[in-house]
Amino acid sequence: MEYVHAVMLLHAAGKKPDGESLKNILKAAGVEADEARIKTLLSALEGVNIEEVLKGASAVAVSPAPQAAAAPPKAEEKKEEKKEEEEKKEEEAMAGLAALFG
């Protein structure tokens, strides 16, 4: 993934990705560059318009990770439980007041 990020960084800077630039970025990030992976990535990117790929990727809906999706319902459940408890307390208090005037 670091290799793809390095390519994206070069693209954002308006530079064409090449082996030496990728090695320098990876080295600056503390990653030991693998020549074979760099060559494979660069050959896979030949003829690819990165800008078009990015435009197509932004149109695709990204689904959250399963763990991230599971977190909000728990928070909602807690809110609902708390709300139900408050409503129950209010009902009990109203019943107590009704007994005073009943």
pLDDT (tens digit, 9 = 90+) per residue, 53-94?
888 876 655 555 555 555 566 667 777 788 888 887 777 666
Tokens 């009990």 sit on residue: 92
Predicted model pTM: 0.54
Give dist(CA 37, CA 93) in Å, integer: 70
Give dist(CA 100, CA 56) in Å, integer: 68
- pLDDT confidence of residue 36: 94
Tokens 């993934």 sit on residue: 1
**Fold type of domain 2-59:** Arc Repressor Mutant, subunit A (1.10.10)
Through-space distance between the first and last CA atoms of the chain, rounded to whole angstroms: 72
Alpha-helical segments (H) within the chain: 2-12, 19-28, 35-45, 50-59, 66-101
